Structure 1
Amino acid sequence: MADSRPMSIAQPPGATACLVFGDGRVAWGTGFGAEGSAVGELCFHTAMTGYQEVMTDPSFARQVVAFTFPHIGNVGANDQDFEADDPHALGCIVREAVSGPSNFRSTVGFAEWMAAHKRIGISGLDTRALTRLVRREGPPNVVIAHSASGEFDVAALQRQAAEWPGLEGMDLAKEVSRAGLENWSGGKWSLELGFGAAGNENGEGERPHVVAIDYGAKRNIFRNLVEAGAKVTIVPASASFDEIMALKPDGFFLSNGPGDPAATGDYAVPVIRQLLETKLPLFGICLGHQLLALAVGGRTSKMFQGHRGANHPVKRISDGAVEITSMNHGFAVERDGIPQGVRETHVSLFDDSNCGIELNDRPAFSVQYHPEASPGPQDSYYLFEKFVGMMR
């Protein structure tokens, strides 16, 4: 068992990493991955698998992830389970020491992978205690630091954590979005083919064309759109209405992403409102869901602790069915602010927060959770088929 070091100010012998809070509390542990320090928001994630997908999810920009599952890193890392070109989470905290990889798909150990991508890890912390702290106090601003020599200027790190402004009011979509247009290819992964092209009996030209706006999208979303029968072109978060329409789309997709939706909405919402006026099908996920809600007159707000994990139950209001979903968001659409002409389609069974909307007068809908299952269950893949069916 790893040594579970309590929070204190005094550094225990052998500690090579620390998590420093803005109020002066310090949690000491053993560092792995890259050396250095980074400031951001602490959150916890409840998935038992998929830690590489979590670390590379752009929605985790400016966040430090505490994994509640104790055995993180034991299947190593590979070149296929990336959700973006590089990791976006600042670092991670794990209970047990990272062991050597034990999986036939692994090409490198997790600690080595973290170091190669300049991401900081801490092992030996009581992640259950950190989870209870976030649930009790909300997500704190922290600095994660690793020094092989064990030398830290804790006072300076504490000031850095205290002075960081936090995610509220912060637009991060432009930081993680693609810089230019990309024509996507490749469907879902399989053991036999890897990320092979999805079959299409009618020929590629017959596929409905979806233009996806990248606010910090996960790759597996595009793979699922291809699998469901779409042709996908990706544009950056800053793309204008005219630039999107010049691509002759049959529908629009609003991606997930990090940061405060109200801040991203300053430039995204006017474009989305123009897209809605075309009355072409539109589908949004996570940040895209929140931006659609803002575009039709809804409101968003920062959640007390957020939802992050691969085991979140969501009720589908139309028939009462329960979907087990993957989630990653710290902001939510306010249920009491859903405007007329918009119906609520899904609700969280954890805290009754909104998880989906659909417009009554045009083919547009969105969900708060991640139906692309990366990582997570596949209960909600039907949403991609619904969207592609609307475009057809």
Structure 2
Amino acid sequence: MRRRYAVGLVSALLVTLCAPATAVSAASSSGDAPAPRTHSAASAPSAAGRHQVITWGASMDRQGEGPRDRSYRAVVRTSVGGTGVRVRLSNAFGDQPVTFDSVYAGKRKEGAELVGGSNRPLTFGGAGSVTVPPGESVVSDPLSGRLAAQSDLVVSYHVLSAGGPSTGHGMAMQTSYATAGNHTAEESATSWTDRTGSWYYLDAVSVETDRDTGAVVALGDSITDGWQSSTDTNRRWPDYLSRRLQSATGIGVKGVANEGISGNKVLADGAGQSALNRLQRDVLSQPGVRTVLLFEGINDIKAHSGVTVDDMIAGYREIVERAHAAGKCVVGGTVLPFKGWSEYDPEAEAVRQGVNAFIRTSGELDGVADFDRMLRSPYDQEKLLPVFDGGDRLHPNDKGMQAMADAVDLKSLRCDR
């Protein structure tokens, strides 16, 4: 949902490179809207008992025109650690090919500066350059060495040629950097003078880990995206959930991917493709995903669009059915109260209550994260508890984000499918 506003050691991260020389293309299936084809670089098979798991993700949308001869330095926070780091670059919303002629990954020291000796080139089918056609994405060859959990990975890439709309994630709640020309190999911050609050083209990072380890994807709107949490501090509720999972024992789910888009809806495109239309690209195509934590609906409900409880349930059911068909568990997050927000009215509140009753009692989901019960006021259950309110009666603050993560039963994130 979108608030109205103007808009240790180096070896612990990356040790050495492994750049296989061949490539293979794979097409992903789609739901209601086409998912971009993903070209995956082939590598030596994973060791017995190991597989690839997403450690970071961001949902993509159409952005402004993409300039050529520009470098981006994206700062991302890992969840699960592992070896064989791969990145996925997306041109899902472009209408022209995008050429990346230099892509590096390293460990952040501070700001745009990297830890000395950590910055290493990535390859794609053994080549240092790759062109991504419109509507498609590409996955890099793996890097040998280990990427630590809960660390700041920096992916630097130079766009040699582009044009038309770019692909990116508008509201990152994280400062990244950009500059003219190719400065991807540089570890200093000298050239990286342009600051940006968005991620461009980079939509996923994965690692190789044991087959007992999987990931959860948070599919949501601006609350999941982190609006009203503190910028550059990783205090979105999926970040808090990631830290809980890393410290938990006996829980096989360690990876967390945040696939929230501000303003997003379950049923209708607008602020990004709807949850239904982006489910394949943002969730089901990601490696190692065990569970979808579905937390969407407030933007459909408060939009005065005539959406009914039955409409919302039909949308949830389709997501659940498609996720189950792909062998994924689905945990439903109850919709938070929003009395005091400008679009609140009793009719919308009735729909919210009906949706939450379905999530809690239908038995069609594999688990429930009762965010509503955790964050609502005991004095007026249609309102957020003030200590959790970010100030607009809709978005939780840092304390509210942590409370949401605490409301998730970690055992529910792995079901028998």
Q: Please report the TM-score for the alignment, with normalisation by the length of structure 1.
A: 0.28
Higher helix share goes to which structure?
A: 1
Q: Please report the TM-score for the alignment, with normalisation by the length of structure 2.
A: 0.27
- The higher relative CO (CA closer than 8 Å, separation ≥ 6) is in 2
